[in-house]
Amino acid sequence: MRTLEKIKQASLITAIKTPYLANGEIDLAKYDELVEIQIAAGVDGIVVGGTTGEGQLMNWEEHLMLIAHSANKYGEKLVIVGNTGSNNTREAIKATKYGFASGMDAALQINPYYGRTSIAGVKEHFKRVLDIGPAFIYNVAGRTGQDLTPDIIEPLAQHEHFIGVKECGGNERIAHYEQQGIACWSGNDDESHDARHTYKAHGVISVTSNLIPGLFRQLMDTPSNELNASLQPLMNWLFCEPNPIAINTAMMMTGAVNPVFRLPYLPLSDEQQAQGEVLINELNNSDVVGGAAKCIKQGDIALLS
C-alpha cells in the first residue's frame, strides 16, 4: 500500500467507467483496455465502482471483485481507490475491510444519503470507516442532500487515515481547506483547471478524463486558459443529464464500449447525442478514447435491468 503522502501526489484520478457485455455482466477485458488507456495517458489513479463506474448498480460481489481485480493487475501503476462507502455504516465497514484486504490503496467514503443522520452521526460514521484505513471523503451535496461543511471536515482531517476531500462545493471552499493543509481534489470537472492552478487544489477526480485523459493530464499539469475554455462546452454536455448518463453515451458513440445500459440509466436523446457528436469531433481523434463519435440509434442500445 502507498503512504498517504504518496497518494496525495496523484493529481489526476479518473472515476473509471465500468463497461458491460451484451448480457449486462461486467466486461473485464474491455475494462482492462480502458484502464490501460488511462495509464498510457499518464493518469495517476482510478476510483473503482464510483458513481461514474456505477457501483450503485452493482451487488457487493461484483463491486469487490472489480476492486480486487484492479488492485491486483494495476496496483503497481495506479493509485487504486475503491468506492466502498455506503449510507449503511455496517456495509461501509465490511466493504472497506474487504477492499483493503484485496489491496486497494484508499477508500472513497460518502456521508449517509437518503436515510440521513445527524451531524454527530455523520462524524461517527466517518470515524468508524477512517479507523480501517486511508480514505478520501466525498462531499457531493447534490447527491446526498447534506453538505459536509468545514465544521465537519476540519476535525476529521486530524484522523491519521484522512487523505483529503473530493469537494463539489466550489473552489472557494477548496482554497479554504488547502490554506489549512487539507488536501482537496475538485469534484467538478468544469472548475478543476482553476481549482488546480488558482485555488491550489491537489487535483481532480474526473469523469471527463474517461473520454479525454491526455487532455485532462495537460489541464492538471500546466495552466492553460485556452485549453480549459475550449473544453468547457464538452464538459457541460457531459453533465447535461445526471452522471453517468452522458459519459456512458459518449463512450458508446466513440465505440469505446458496448452500447449497453444498466437501468435506471437511459441513453441521451437523439438531439443530445447530435450535440455531443459535434463537440467530440471538434477534437483530434487521437485525443478521444475510441476516436470519432457517431450517434447511435436508440434501438441499438441494450437496456438491461
d(CA 305, CA 291): 29
Q: What are phi and psi of 33, to 5 degrees?
A: -60, -45
Classify 204 as helix, strand or coil: strand
Respond yes or no: is residue 138 known to be catalytic: yes
* Active-site hit among 74, 166, 177, 199: 166
The DSSP secondary-structure symbol of 249 reads H
Respond yes or no: is residue 199 known to be catalytic: no
- Long-range contacts of residues 241-248, Cβ cutoff 8 Å, at least 24 apart: 241/268, 241/272, 243/51, 243/52, 243/207, 244/17, 244/51, 244/52, 244/53, 244/54, 244/207, 246/272, 246/276, 247/17, 247/52, 247/207, 247/208, 247/210, 247/211, 248/17
Q: At what angle do helices 189-197 and 225-237 cross, to 10 degrees?
A: 160
Cα diameter, the chain: 52
> What is the Cα gyration radius of the chain?
18
d(CA 18, CA 16): 7
* Active-site hit among 20, 31, 74, 138: 138
Report the catalytic residues: 138, 166
